[in-house]
Amino acid sequence: MDLKKFVKEKAIEVGLDIIGFCSAEPFYEIKEYLTFRKQKGYMAEFEQEDIKLRIAPKEIMPSANTIIAAGLSYNVDFKNNIDIKSIFKGRLSKSSWGIDYHNVLYRKLELLVDYIKEIKDDVEYKIFVDTGSLVDKEIAKRAGIGWYGKNCLIINDEYGSFIFIGYIITNLEIEADSESISKCGDCRLCLDACPTKALEDAYVLNPKRCISYLTQTKEKIPYELRDKMNNKIYGCDTCQLVCPKNKNVKKGKTEEFIPKVTGGYLDIVEIFNLSNKEFKKKYGHITGSWRGKNILKRNCIIALGNLRDKRAIELLNKSLEDSSPMIREYSAWALMKIDRKIGKRILLSHLEKEKSKEVKQEIYNLIEYFDSR
């Protein structure tokens, strides 16, 4: 039996859009780049710091011979009728429209392995969906899933860059596919469009400035970067939306990614009023919920500041009483961003009852910052 052909056929059957194969040999070619990123301080807080674990599949699974890489498009057809100008709405990136892709893609890879087990009872494997220490984009590139775009995303010929990547490390020996080669040419639309200039050069991303990262980090977000986040409360699609390689591509057909609950946006006022339990029940299924309600609420506060609608002042004033110091600090920023005069008056009054020294200092810092602008 042609094992490679079998796996490809079953991949389609379980609902995967793209499948590719590569060797489990070390990724020595990216060692220097990973070292460069570490030295520059470009490591995201979610990343594995041990470079050896990032480049050596056999460190993850000693019996590894092949990596089966898979791509699943989340570029689903959907049009909403939301009037985002009439109500406070926070924008979700396409990656968080529907059900958490980690669960959806992982399940499809599990089903694929189940088929393989039927003909290979000695198969050993490990499945990863954005959870392993290896660099999944390098795996996708080597396996022919797509090439590295200048926006540091993998671009597939048929589906563009709106794809999730997962992979199976296995002891099976399967013929490798040809590595993908970049087709960006002289185009630099993504670099020019990046709101925060996180794309410092072609193929060079400073994640600490990337809005997608900022909406997930627990680190303090610099004031000047908050200004650039607009009403994005999870993720950012700007560099993908301007990419010519995403025009006229195949649409994804995975129904789980259709935003039936969110419509691609979250109601900011609702997020403020939901308890943690209510939030998990209604939105726990989306990718953007993985950091918890408070991080999304913080992002909603930034969105309110950037919308600069005075109707939000009452809501933000109430948030100054929130039990979370982080929420109080960001609410103070948003109040000043919406209206310096009103915000300053509210914050000076709040200082009398604020118990946290850190929050008090942040309020003083904010008043000084906005007064100097």
Mean pLDDT over 339-343 rounds to 98
pLDDT band at 42 (very low <50, low <70, confident <90, very high): confident
- Choice among 130, 177, 267, 339 that is catalytic: 130
Residue 94 has pLDDT above 90, yes or no: yes
Judging by DSSP bridges, how do beta strands 163-170 and 199-201 pair with one another? unpaired
pLDDT band at 85 (very low <50, low <70, confident <90, very high): low
Residue 250 has pLDDT above 90, yes or no: yes
130 belongs to the catalytic site: yes
pLDDT band at 49 (very low <50, low <70, confident <90, very high): confident
Residue 84 has pLDDT above 80, yes or no: no
Residue 81 has pLDDT above 70, yes or no: no
- Specify the residue for token string 């057909």: 253
84 exposure class (CB count in 10 Å sphere: 0-12, 13-18, 19+): middle
Residue 46 has pLDDT above 80, yes or no: no
Judging by DSSP bridges, how do beta strands 89-92 and 232-234 pair with one another? parallel
Are 328 and 354 in contact by the 8 Å Cβ rule? The answer is yes
- Residues near 247 by Cβ (< 8 Å), separated by ≥ 6? none
pLDDT band at 86 (very low <50, low <70, confident <90, very high): low
Q: Locate all alpha helices (DSSP H) within 176-324, ordered by sequence.
A: 189-193, 211-214, 223-226, 238-241, 268-273, 276-283, 293-307, 313-319
pLDDT at position 82: 64
Q: To the nearest whole percent, how much of the chain has pLDDT over 70?
A: 98
**Among residues 171, 64, 164, which one has the least CA distance to residue 116?**
171
Residue 302 has pLDDT above 70, yes or no: yes
Q: Give the mean pLDDT of the chain.
A: 95
Mean pLDDT over 191-205 rounds to 97
> What are the CA-CA distances from residue 169 to residues 31, 51, 82, 114, 128 (Å)?
20, 18, 43, 14, 8
Q: To the nearest whole percent, how much of the chain has pLDDT over 90?
A: 90
Query: What 8-state DSSP symbol labels residue 10?
Result: H
pLDDT at position 79: 79
pLDDT at position 83: 62
Mean pLDDT over 167-190 rounds to 97
Judging by DSSP bridges, how do beta strands 199-201 and 204-205 pair with one another? antiparallel
Are 57 and 64 in contact by the 8 Å Cβ rule? The answer is yes
More confident residue, 364 or 46: 364
Residue 165 has pLDDT above 70, yes or no: yes
What is the C-alpha to C-alpha distance for residues 115 and 1, in angstroms, rounded to an integer?
Answer: 14
Mean pLDDT over 100-108 rounds to 97
CA 135 to chain centre: 15
Comparing 36-50, 96-110, 284-298, 324-338, which segment has the lowest mean pLDDT?
36-50
pLDDT at position 316: 98
